[in-house]
Structure 1
């Protein structure tokens, strides 16, 4: 046990150890409160006095939610060693989070954004005191129901740290501690300011600190390769360390890896970082003395969405820049990271592509900007975009604010419909089994432990992929179901109006009514009436064919709907995720056993045999469950989805053709109505003239056409004309219904 006046700790409760100090978990003697104590060793006192006290002075100045708090500076009783009493972060460090097999391929998107927020707030501490904060829109409002980072809090953190003008000089995942907030959310805090110092923007330093994998190449050359040089270093060296840290957090691995690893091939490590082309964010050497391979994007195994990657990659490219003159300053870095953190996410599932997109936009942007962002990710032009949300069309007016977009989640996104018929791409992924190293036939406890950890990491990646693939199948089926429901509604409405028009045509074409008109007209008028009746009869037959065609479409859609429901039941009954989770639990036990066994000098024969069986079992289970179950089902679902999408596309085009036909029949009906109206006008006018003349020469009672009969005839013809007008209106309404309900909207060139 060791203690100071107010705190007590056991040397077994070691949290971390460095060249000059060790950190322990301790308790307050009176309250029992948990704290962390940093106890400096003898080597630390060999440093100059100003270096020894620098960490105390820096921590006393800083007071920020993303910096570990300093409570007191005390001394141990016997040796009178200096002790820093600091805030205790119970959940380890970002490095321990990344070393967990669960995050072998990088952090989930939400957790990465938490880390980014911490880094953006804290690491502007190298900023100049005269620097202005980045512009923030005064009307930055969140989309209702969505959580966003507050620009004001970020700016406040920047202002606090900028005033101190401090460079950390040892930024790495191990120096970013994690604790859980009251609601279970992660809070990351920067610690270990032993290498920190105050530094203005234009001031330089020559001393070298830091961890070699995260060191700027100029510092690496002198500190690791021990090459003499006269270079000085500015505040931007922290940006290089931040870039490596962010890449590590996003991918689970370091960006620059020579063959054999950074610690074994230091010369090649230096060469990779200094020869890196502009825009590249990673470089690897996969064979001994082999060529260097550069990457300008994050790997496909990264769990960040392409929407976030498109925002992050330019930042990494500009802070992982060797030449300090070309590297961004902290002002630009903070402006760009704050821009990401101030955005909201709109989840968009492209039904034709079968891909879920995360679209990052500002809440104060217009919907037109959102539609353009959707185009950048999907290549579907804004004029061809139509959206469904929870089964209903969601109309997005380009001039409105993005705040009018629905609150979306990954499981409840906007569904993007497109006029184009394309083969579904689906989720692009890499089989986790490809990253599993081979087990050696001979038992090697340390190597087997490392391999077991890799297998477990691949298992967690397989679990994440299995969940993602299953969710993708659910979104495909749900989106198609909504499309079918919409098309069926179109069919019902169109069929109803078409049948009403047919009924009206049947009554309007009655022989008795037209025969009375024919009996009162001349031969030429009678011929025109006959022609019009023939046109109307042909129109009725055409509408009847349309009605039959729509009925066939209804039947086809009903069959498709039944298939969709059957497949949705199968997806809901899929237990592959639970099976992989069960196997992961078993693999965890194997991993823990290997972790425990590596500390032993050796295993007995029986233990070795079990050890070998466990190795093979873990890998076989992973391959079978993921490859033979999840991947095959997903690939089959993509093929089926493509077939169903083509069927929906063909049905939509067929209904569009019906719409055009009905429009043409509407035009014919209008022409027939106009022709009948003209005949009616002429006949009525002639009858009235005849009646007038007859009235002048004969008494009304002896008129050849009694007044009541004449009046009935005129009224009958007027009624017929009005009914024909109603027919035209009904057909116009029919056309509007089909155009309004058709999916997706008609494109000029389709």
Structure 2
């Protein structure tokens, strides 16, 4: 039964002073409150009685700062028991600080989540500056998170108790903020030279913002003395004396030198371009020299450049690597190829880029801006294949896989004695390790899926392409056969005794070309049948159990960690005997969960990724050789078609000449006929003798026969050409029917299109 003494209330809200406690800040305590009439849940910020001025300042600020990325102020009320000011706020599930302490974020937010966080905070800061406010205490704990119905996070600036209307060029004197995120001048006034009168400006917010962004990207604060807050002298030395370009500093022993860091750590898995862009922002945000530091305007411009980029996800099959390109919205296909070259060292002429079931260049135009491309994501990326054999052209590091061979130097272990604080730290470390393994397993499963899809879809394309080439060779052979018959008829009939084919093109030449094409397609068919790719099976994706297993291991480890955290907070040590035994059992369970997780990755998932990568390289080697032969055949076919075109063009020329000659002959025959009709014998009414009639019509019959034969041959040629057009159409329709059948039979969402040779991919801009 609920203890009624714990229930507290304001005018419209009720809360439990123990169960609904959320946390405590420098100026207030926060509880989860329930509205009496609707049951809605909100956060109640109950300010200390002596801090009424701060409470009023925050409420005034919040009333004027309505924005999706600033925590929503709902009402001002009064606690009935204490009379303290209560600010009723939007209830948020957690803060960025809490999120960064979760095992999954040991090394900072994921790239997708960081971009979301970055966008929201930039929008919130813009709104703040548009209304002339400085926050003066930006840190992960003052950035709250609300979850949408779809599970996505919305980040909101909160805690405006120190916020103040200040122009960027104006100054303030009060000392506020949190140590790890403080500007050097404020840190000096607060902890080094206390009591000294100083003035501060907007640079304070910019430095704090930079430190917060660095923390979100890496999972740790930028400047870390060996003893943390207990060594403020070294902390001040770090932030005040750091060289320009340094974005972090670390002291690893009590007497050790400060190690300056100029780039984001390897543990930060962001894309190359994003890392470089953020590094440039960090070195200007966390800079004490005003002449080198960023202003709000320059920060917003740099942020807009990042957020305005079109993100293209790419999977390169050579190294099984996943990466992202941050492209300008107006970038085109050529720009995409150049960026891929920077990332992979594969030149544009060797880049075969697929999207789903299509070649990318077949579904977009060369000049289409990237922002109009189909939706590309990490699960549906562009897939990059080398057009040439991998072994002959890759750099040594190009086929190195993305994962580390050894994830951990040693296995975690607990000490003999129970020390609750140390046990909690070890439990947290184990959870973080399992979360890292989970990331590897999920990426490994995605890698296997993409490899299988790439091999299977390309094998289907290969079969269709070979069939089409075979049909094209046969069609070309039939066309040449018809030309051979026509040529023979011309030669026998003597219709065009002066006919001369185009230079270098003869019937014998055409026959030699088509025989070469036939020989090549036969070899291609044989090689295609000899290298039938065996299906890769027994991978992680066949039953999709590995991601489920690792998620379960992590969840179990988190529950153990939570139990350790509760014991640590209770500060009950030594533990009673039975409770101590249960605690020891939980410690063993945590180590077992770590071992299971690592074994799942090392002995299963990693092995499967390596196997399918090797399977792909083996497949690609034979496929690249086949593509080389296909390219040669296509080149030969193009040359044959060109020769046929030149040869048939002569018929048109000679037909026109014949028509002119026949026209002239027809005119003389009419004259001859008229002469016969008007001859004296006819005029006198005599019937001409048959002998004379035949003799007089002899030239007419010979010319007429030649005209008739020539006309028939020309018509026959035109019928051949028409027949070839119909044959092309029928083959095209057959391809369409075959494509539809394949699409219906496929388990994937296939969309077959006209497939050129993979090796014959040229940059369309050249």
How does 1:291-370 map onto structure 2 within 5 Å?
291-306=257-272, 308-352=274-318, 354-361=320-327, 363=329
Q: How does 1:157-176 map to 2 (within 5 A)?
A: 158=127, 161-176=128-143
Partner of 1:644: 619
Contact 1:388 1:394 in 2 (8 A): yes
CA contact (8 A) 1:257 1:283 kept: yes
Distance 1:366 1:525 in 2: 51
- The one of 375, 389, 393 equivalent to 2:355 is 389
Work out which of the residue numbers 240, 244, 247 in structure 2 matches 1:274. Answer: 240
CA positional deviation for 1:624: 0.9
The answer on 1:539 being equivalent to 2:539 is no
Alpha-carbon offset, residue 178 of structure 1 = 2.1
Deviates more, 1:582-591 or 1:294-303: 294-303
Uncovered stretches (5+) of structure 2, i.e. residues with no partner? 1-5, 677-691, 736-752
Is 1:583 the counterpart of 2:599? The answer is no
Q: Secondary structure at the match of 1:195?
A: coil
CA distance in 1, matches of 2:103, 2:628: 50
Task: Indicate which of 97, 121, 124 corresponds to 1:122.
Answer: 124
Give the 3 Å change call, closer, same or farther, for CA 570–650 of structure 1 in structure 2: farther
1:133 matched to which residue of 2? none
Look up the match of 1:143.
none
Give deviations 1:260-318, integer Å, cap 9, x for gaps.
5x234433333333344433333334455445444444334335444544543332232
1:407-486 equivalences under 5 Å are 407-416=375-384, 419=387, 422=390, 423=394, 425=399, 428-429=402-403, 433-434=407-408, 438-443=412-417, 444-486=419-461
Cα distance, 1:324 vs. partner?
A: 3.2
- The CA distance in 2 between the partners of 1:684 and 1:74, in whole Å, is 104
Secondary structure of 2:245's match?
Answer: coil
- In 1, the alpha carbon distance for the partners of 2:661 and 2:39 equals 112
2:539·2:608 contact (CA, 8 Å) conserved in 1?
no
Match runs of 1:96-111 below 5 Å: 96-111=98-113
Aligned-residue offset at 1:99: 1.3
Question: Structure 1 stretch 464-473 or stretch 643-652: which is displaced more?
Answer: 643-652
Residue pair 1:35, 1:85 contacting (<8 A) in 2 also = no
1:699 partnered with 2:695: yes
Aligned to 1:154: none
Q: Report SS of the residue matched to 2:449.
A: helix
Q: Map 1:671-750; keep pairs closer than 5 Å.
A: 699=695, 741-743=756-758, 744-746=760-762
TM-score under structure 2 length normalisation: 0.77
How far 1:730 moved relative to its partner? 11
CA pair 69-436 structure 1, distance change in 2 beyond 3 A? farther
- For the pair 1:283 / 2:249, whether they are aligned, the reply is yes
CA distance 1:185–1:660, shift in 2 (3 Å): closer
Instruction: Give the alignment partner of residue 564 of structure 2, picking from 572, 594, 619.
Output: 594
Distance 1:425-1:535 versus aligned 2 partners, 3 A rule: closer
Deviation string for 1:25-83 (max 9, x for gaps)?
334455554333333447x45xxx86675334433443333333444545545654x32
Match of 2:216 among 249, 262, 274: 249
1:426/1:638 contact within 8 Å kept: no
1:213 paired to 2:180: yes
Corresponding residue SS for 1:699: helix
Pick which of 620-629 and 724-733 moved more.
724-733
Alpha-carbon spacing, 1:86–1:365, altered in 2? closer, same or farther (3 Å) = farther
- The answer to whether the 8 A contact 1:98-1:107 is kept is yes
Once the two structures are TM-superposed, the CA of residue 518 in structure 1 deviates from its matched residue by: 5.9
Asked if 2 retains the 8 angstrom alpha-carbon contact of 1:363 and 1:401, the reply is yes
Length, aligned pairs only: 702
In terms of Rg, which structure is larger? Answer: 2
1:488 paired with 2:484, answer no
Is 1:84 aligned to residue 86 of structure 2?
A: yes
Q: 2:374 aligns with which of 385, 406, 417?
A: 406
Distance 1:276 1:51 in 2: 35
Structure 1 position 379, deviation (Å): 5.5
Indicate how the Cα distance of structure 1 residues 659 and 256 shifts in structure 2: closer, same or farther if over 3 A, else same: same
Q: How many Å apart are 1:516 and its aligned residue?
A: 9.1
The equivalent of 1:555 in structure 2 is 529
For residues 538 and 548 of structure 2, what CA distance do their matches in structure 1 show?
A: 18
Give the RMSD, CA atoms, in angstroms.
4.7
712 and 555 in structure 1: CA distance in 2 versus 1, 3 angstrom threshold? farther
Q: Does 1:37 align with 2:44?
A: yes
- State the partner residue of 1:146: none
> Matches of 1:5 and 1:671 in 2, distance apart?
95
Comparing 587-596 with 240-249, greater Cα deviation is found at: 587-596
Using the TM superposition, give the Cα deviation of residue 496 of structure 1 relative to its aligned residue in structure 2, in angstroms. Answer: 0.6
How far off is 1:545 after superposition? 0.8
Gaps of 5+ in 1: 125-157
**Match of residue 128 from structure 1:** none
Q: 2-side partners of 1:183 and 1:725: how far apart? A: 61
Alpha-carbon distance, 1:6 to partner: 4.7
Q: 1:671 to 1:450 in 2, by over 3 A?
A: same
For residues 363 and 207 of structure 1, the distance between their equivalents in structure 2, rounded to whole angstroms, comes to: 44
Post-superposition shift, 1:240? 1.4
Alignment partners' CA distance in 2, 1:574 and 1:487: 29
Q: Is the CA contact 1:101–1:460 (under 8 Å) kept in the aligned structure 2?
A: yes
Match of 2:748 in 1: none
How many angstroms apart in 1 are the aligned matches of 2:404 and 2:222? 18
- Rounded to whole Å, the distance in 2 between the matches of 1:6 and 1:500 is 85
Secondary structure of the residue aligned to 1:39 is: strand
Structure 1 contact 486–741 (Cα < 8 Å) conserved:
no
Normalising by structure 1, what TM-score? 0.78
Number of the residue aligned with 1:239: 206
Judge conservation of contact 1:532–1:676 (CA < 8 Å) in 2. Answer: no
